[in-house]
Structure formats: structure tokens, C-alpha cells
Amino acid sequence: MATRDYYNVLDVPRDASQDDIKKAYRALARRWHPDKNEGDAEAAQRFKDINEAYRTLSDADKRKRYDRLGPLYREDGRPPRPEDVNEVVTSMFGGLFRRRGNERGDDLRYTVSLTLEEVATGVDKSIVVPRRIACRTCGGVGAVPEARKDCEVCGGTGKAKGTRLFRSSCYHCDGRGFTAESSCETCGGDGRVSLDDTLVVKVPPGVAAGQKLKLAGKGDASRGEGEAGDLYVIVSVADHDLFRRRGEDILVDLPLAFDELALGADVVVPTLDGTTTIRIPPGSEPRKVLRLGGRGLPRVGRSGRGDLHLQIVLELPTSLDELQVQAVRALAASLPPEAHPKRAAFRRAVEARNA
């Protein structure tokens, strides 16, 4: 589709003659030719736009079709698609009265890594974000006042003449209303400078991995007087050596020895804010889960906290010496069958299958 007003690109009226169009093209092509602007990406794009406009307006049939279709014109002659029509309508209502130089700055994304303890309490996290801010030397316009002059094409208004089906910013001054005889030395004419900005992110308690925190106006500055973009901070939560997260609950594997399970014990266990002592009941079995209510993570947007779940894991001794082996065997031999009711039931079931 035609994304720019070709008459505005060549700075000719809509009733311009073919001679006027050719003269305008030659003058602009000489000014923006890549050989005269080596390494200048903006000049290369303008040269491309100028050639695109001239190819259409210098051909009588293409020009008629362009005058009829406007932004729906396609150089290949194909009819506009429904999505092309939607795009043009969106552009008309979203940017009809907005000058290009005042468009909003880009949004930025930054990932911040948190510990589970920081998630539990919330934290003011200091981050360093590479972003662009408005140049203080030129006020963000790319040229100091003494180097500016009103755009000859739009007369300083920043708006293009002609159809309103295209964005109304002047192509030749990017909607700023002026051209610069020389660029600002500080920003090189971009109107912005890059820096590593130190910002503080207020992370609320209970945030989840992947959650976005918005810092309004902390993205890139716009080129001109438009609003700055926003910064979206993406939360990442580091793995913990003790805790696993399940929503608002915290899971912990609790390794215990045989005697602690058989006889019961008082055991010190970790929590998000320190430690606490719990009582292991005698005869506790592996995989049993003990729950400490309200010792998990805060519930975002609600009162209260999740729970801390401790799953018992039986840890058997390893590398026993001969004396210890004999002690274990003596203990096993001393225990009656009813000391292991599940094992006895298992044996009876197996024997019944073989009967």
C-alpha cells in the first residue's frame, strides 16, 4: 500500500504537470542520493520514497489509479484486501491529527530476578536500564534554536497539504515544522541520548514469575514532544535450595532418620522468614505431608498467606561399619511381626495368590 502521500513526498500540488513532477523529482533525487549521503540511513530511505513516488506520478495510468485509491493504492496493481482497508481506517483515526515528530516513544522490557524471600516480603529493587531520554541541549528536537528554520514545504505548520486519508505530518520536516541547517552536536540530530538509567522498582509481595510491573514514562523518549514510552519489568524468580513454589504455597522436602520417624522428634525446619521447631509424631511415615498454615507466600490482592507444606523423606544411613550392621540386624530380629502390619498384610496377600 501507499504509506505516504506521493504529492507530499515530491512537494508538488495534486494538479502538478508532468514537467513539474520531473523537476521536483530530479532536485530531490540529487539532494538525497546515497552517493552524496554515504552511510546516512535516513537519506537512503528518503531516496527510496522519492523514487517510489516518482514511479507512480510519472505514469499517467498509475497516477489515475493512485488518485482514486489514495493509501489503498498498490504499485503492483492488485486490489486492496480487507486487512488493508482496516489498516487505513485505523491510521486515519489513530494518527490523523498527530504529527510524526510527536509520536510516542518506544516501550521497553527488562527482566528482574528475585529471590523467594524477596517475593515473600516485597522489595524496592534497584535496576539499571539502557534507555533513551530527551537531549537536554536541544530540548529533544535534534537541533539548537539558532540552527532551525521554518520548513519551506509546510510553512512551519508541520502538516502536509492535500488529502487527509494519509497522516497529516509533513514528509520533509517529519512533522516538526522546521528543518535544521546543522544537527545538535550532543544527540547528532536524533533529539535523544542513550544512557544507563538507575531506576527503583517497587515489587509487591507475592508476585509470580512472568508477572509484568509497569513503570509509566520510563521507556524511550519520543522524537519530539510526544510522550515517553513505558518500561515493563518482567519478574523472574530464582530457584531456591530449600523451597519450591506452588502458587501461594511453599513445599519443602524434610529428610528424617529412621529413629526420628519411629520415636518422634522435635525438628527445626526452615520458613521464609527464619526457622521454627515442629514435633514429628511417633510412627510418622515417609511421604506424609505436614502443613504449617499461613507460612507460605502472601496472596496478591487478598488478605492472608498460603501454607508451608513439609513432606517427610526417610533418609537411610549409608556406609555402615560391621558393628553398625550387626546392630541393625539385631534390631530387626527383635521386632515382632505386628511391628510391621503393612508388611505382614503384603506377605499374606502374596501367599494367597500362590495358594
Q: Report the alpha-carbon distance of residue 58 to residue 161 in Å, rounded.
A: 20
Q: Report the alpha-carbon distance of residue 248 to residue 300 in Å, rounded.
A: 9
Q: How many residues does the chain have?
A: 355
Which residue in 9, 168, 180 sits closest to 103, CA to CA? 168
Let me know: does 223 contact 103? Beta carbons within 8 Å: yes
Fold of 6-95: Helix Hairpins (1.10.287)
For cell 497516477, the residue is: 63
Q: Report the alpha-carbon distance of residue 127 to residue 198 in Å, rounded.
A: 6
pLDDT of residue 100: 44
pLDDT of residue 86: 64
pLDDT of residue 87: 58
Let me know: does 194 contact 129? Beta carbons within 8 Å: no
Q: What architecture is domain 108-237?
A: Sandwich (2.60)
Let me know: does 272 contact 292? Beta carbons within 8 Å: no
pLDDT of residue 43: 83
What predicted TM-score, i.e. pTM, was given to this entire model? 0.64
Which residue in 4, 36, 10 sits closest to 23, CA to CA? 10
Fold of 243-316: HSP40/DNAj peptide-binding domain (2.60.260)
Q: What is the pLDDT along the chain (355 residues), one digit of tens a residue?
A: 556 788 888 888 888 899 999 999 999 999 889 888 887 777 888 899 899 999 999 999 989 988 888 777 777 777 766 665 665 555 544 444 444 445 788 999 999 999 999 999 999 999 999 999 999 888 888 888 888 888 877 877 777 765 555 556 777 777 777 877 788 889 888 889 999 999 999 999 999 999 999 999 999 998 767 789 999 999 999 999 999 999 999 999 999 999 999 999 999 999 999 999 999 999 999 999 999 999 999 998 888 999 999 999 999 998 999 999 999 999 999 999 888 888 889 988 998 988 7
243-316 has the same fold as 6-95: no
Q: Report the alpha-carbon distance of residue 105 to residue 102 in Å, rounded.
A: 9
| Domain ranges within the chain, ordered by starting residue | 6-95, 108-237, 243-316, 324-355
For cell 489514495, the residue is: 70
Q: What is the CA radius of gyration of the chain?
A: 37
pLDDT of residue 95: 46
Q: Report the alpha-carbon distance of residue 25 to residue 40 in Å, rounded.
A: 20
